[in-house]
Every structure is written in structure tokens, then in C-alpha cells.
Amino acid sequence: MMKCIKCSDVMRNSCSFILRGETAEEVVDNIVKHGKIAHREEMKRMNHEKMRQLDIKVQNIMN
């Protein structure tokens, strides 16, 4: 599970920020390219399914 490096909250709707990127693929691309998390208010609009897919993709990259 990815955590927000600014607030340390697990990346779910409880965190009011998002990895930089509009789609899960773009978010993963930014993790690969930049290795960091950028705060964005759009986290509030992401649903649990999108976050779950992102978590799976991030775990695949990290492993």
C-alpha cells in the first residue's frame, strides 16, 4: 500500500491528496519517472476501485 510521503496517510480517501497524474497509468508513470508523490486535491474524487487498481500496479512495480 502506497503512503503519502507528506502526511503519511495510507493512500485512500482519508488522504486528501493524490499522486501526480490523472489516471492510474499516469500516476504509475510518475512514480517510475520521479519516484515521489505530489499532493493534489483530486484524491477526494478518486473512488476505491481506482485506488485498488493503482495499489496493485504500484506493488507490481515495487516488486
Q: What are phi and psi of 50, to 5 degrees?
A: -65, -40
Q: Measured between alpha carbons, how far is 61 from 16 in angstroms, rounded to an integer? A: 24
Residue appearing with cell numbers 520521479: 34
Averaged pLDDT score across all residues of the chain: 57
Domain-by-domain residue ranges, the chain? 1-63
Q: Measured between alpha carbons, how far is 63 from 48 in angstroms, rounded to an integer? A: 22
Residue 12 pLDDT class (50, 70, 90 cuts)? very low
CA R_g for the chain: 10
Q: Measured between alpha carbons, how far is 42 from 63 in angstroms, rounded to an integer? A: 27
> Tell me: the pLDDT tens digits for 32-49?
565 444 444 454 455 566
62 contacts: CB under 8 Å, gap ≥ 6: none
